[in-house]
Amino acid sequence: MSSSSLVLALDNSLDYLNLALAFDGCLLEERRMKVESHSSDVLPTRVAQLLGERKYDARDLTAIIITLGPGSFTGVRVALAFCKGLSVGLGIPLLGVATPDVLAAPFAFMDDHYLCPLIDAKKGEVFFGLYRVSAGTLTRVGDIRSSRPEDLLPQIELPCLCFGTGIAVCREALEGTPGLRIAETGFQQVSGEALLRAGLARFQKGALGEAKPIYGRRSEAEIRFKVEVP
């Protein structure tokens, strides 16, 4: 990435559309907005507004960073299709980061603890990842997956901090467990700045890879029609 880099970060995996713009690694602006739907016509308009108000256009971008889920199946797919189109059309890198990775990032100061971001997966389940913090570095333990609240606790290491939109679903199953803390409010949405930092860090390490959606479980359409969606 050049010394004069303009990077767009985008999250459409949860309840809000999050956009962030950085120049030379410094955050210029972050916007979080509630949109009526995850439809494909929203993203081009919102991105164009953000760039235009900063006197840029899409041709000035040097990289795009996006969350890969899990979360909203539709939101993840729409955002990824949009960003892949920009990436190919502009000839710039597209960097994907798992949504729980970004949710956990602000707690990297909690040495010798585990972190468990919980995302409401609907149907009485949550998506989650488990992270170990050591010397300010997060290491994901195992895969990102889905669970019923009653099955979650045996999959968590202690001491652990649990947080996110899935807390409401799991509170009863988790409350009162020694060594487990619950953050009731805040930290339920992706931080645009945290997403930028995570993506740029992976770029510096050369960990580009292919940006593929992380669903956490099979979609309703896959189950109902017995197909596999790539």
Token digits for 151? Answer: 């099955």
Q: Label residue 228 by pLDDT band (50, 70, 90).
A: low
Domain 6-99+189-225, CATH class in plain words: alpha beta
Closest residue by Cα to residue 104 from 79, 80, 133, 125: 133
Helix or strand (DSSP H, E) at 104: helix 99-104
Specify the higher pLDDT residue, 61 or 219. Answer: 61
Q: Label residue 186 by pLDDT band (50, 70, 90).
A: confident
For 188-194, what is the mean pLDDT? 93
**What does residue 114 show for φ and ψ, rounded to 5 degrees?**
-110, 150
Q: Is the pLDDT of residue 174 over 90?
A: yes
Poorest-confidence range of 117-121, 130-134, 141-145, 202-206?
202-206
pTM summary value:
0.91
- Give the tens place of pLDDT for each residue, 62-114: 999 999 999 999 999 999 999 999 999 999 999 999 999 999 999 999 999 99
Helix (H, G, I), strand (E, B) or coil at 92: coil
User: Start-end ranges of CATH 3.30.420.40 in the chain?
Assistant: 6-99+189-225, 100-182
Return the percentage of the chain with pLDDT > 90, whole number: 79
pLDDT in the model for residue 223: 45
Q: Label residue 184 by pLDDT band (50, 70, 90).
A: confident
* Domain 100-182 of CATH type 3.30.420.40: yes
The CA angle 75-76-81, to the nearest 5 degrees, is: 100
For 160, which DSSP code? E
